[in-house]
Amino acid sequence: MRVLQLIDTLDAGGAERMAVNLANASVNHSFFAAICATRRGGILESAIHQEVPVFIADKRSFYDLKAVRKIIKFIKQHKIDVLHAHSTSVYTAFLIKLMHPTLKLIWHDHYGLSEFVQERPSQELLKVISKYMSGIVACNEDLATWAKTHLHCKEVIFLPNFVVENKNQELTTEISGIDGKRIVCLANLRPQKNHIGLLRIFKEITTQFPDWTLHLVGKDFNDDTSASVKEFITSHDLSNVVSLYDSRKDVAAILKKMDIGVLASTSEGLPLALLEYGIAGLAVMVTNVGQCAQVIQENGEVIDDLEKQGPEVLMKLMNNTSYRSKKGADFKNRVSNFYSESSSVQLLLNFYTELSA
């Protein structure tokens, strides 16, 4: 079995990290995998294992057949038989499938607005493409259900995201704040991540906890969402207690310097950031969206209303060091036991095998 993990970019997003994780997993799980970024590379290039072949196609448009032909040449060179396309790279994968029908096409759906999946764009095109898919992998159960009821491919599995602990990563980012008093939000600056909501509740409690700092780690797209976050920080005099870091290569090392991990999202699937909080041993507070509650269970704080519940719950974690430490340790144990590389990769390999039979 020889697999190509296909992804549009190697920026630091959840789908991108999963594509890299699955490619890297091949080194320890006795199958061949390569990875191709259809459009461009990115910060995650440095995270790819040296034994995994990498190709950047520089595709400029949907009809960039020159780039598609380069990908096909890479596929032939490495004798690929399974094309595992993440998110919107499935459109490129569809063109490749039309040219090489013997390839098994697997679509990995990471749609981030799973609560609003009925409104997702390009549904008709996905229905057409699904006729050519051998299987669909969904990153949460809502997306798996949607695929089974709306698309033509009925071979669908829910594959939990997983993280790999990086114990030896060097900290290269300069971290502000005081040890033992840092909160982190690991999320790209997108509207559904609700950074403004998080900033509002942090502003509400910062007068009672002036030594605590909030650290926002995630890609800055320099768009309206980014501008609104920066304007809020400036206009509410939070610059001394809130830090923006953009995408970072040393996320695992950054998280080791943090004490509480938060997600204020209005929509999620099964966020990798939450699993990364767990591996880092952080106490967590998250909104009850996607599969966050299922992941955490009793090992953290899940809230239904950020504005009403957020300040009190966050202060509870900030106030009680022993409670915070216990929740962090319990959550790390849960993530290690149930969201490990070995269990997810074995499930995927079984799926590949069944589709190839």
pLDDT at 113: 76
Q: Where is 287: in which H helix or E strand?
A: strand 283-287
Helix, strand, or coil (residue 148)? helix
Q: CB–CB of 244/218 below 8 Å? A: no
Q: What is the mean pLDDT of residues 204-213?
A: 95
pLDDT at 151: 95
pLDDT at 63: 83
Q: How confident is the model at residue 117 (pLDDT cuts 50, 70, 90)?
A: confident
Residue 92 reports pLDDT greater than 90: yes
Contacts 24+ apart (CB under 8 A), 64-70: 65/95, 67/38, 68/92, 68/95, 68/96, 68/99
Q: Which two tokens stand for residue 244?
A: 């923006």
pLDDT at 116: 74
Each residue of 230-284: pLDDT tens digit?
999 999 999 999 999 999 999 999 999 999 999 999 998 889 999 999 999 999 9
Structural domains in the chain plus CATH codes: 2-162+340-356 (3.40.50.2000), 182-338 (3.40.50.2000)
Q: Which two tokens stand for residue 52?
A: 């995994």
Q: What is the mean pLDDT of residues 283-302?
A: 95
Q: What is the mean pLDDT of residues 315-326?
A: 97
Residue 303 reports pLDDT greater than 80: yes
pLDDT at 330: 97
Order of strands across the sheet with 104-109?
54-56, 32-37, 2-7, 82-86, 104-109, 135-138, 156-158
The fraction of the chain above a pLDDT of 90, given in percent, is 87
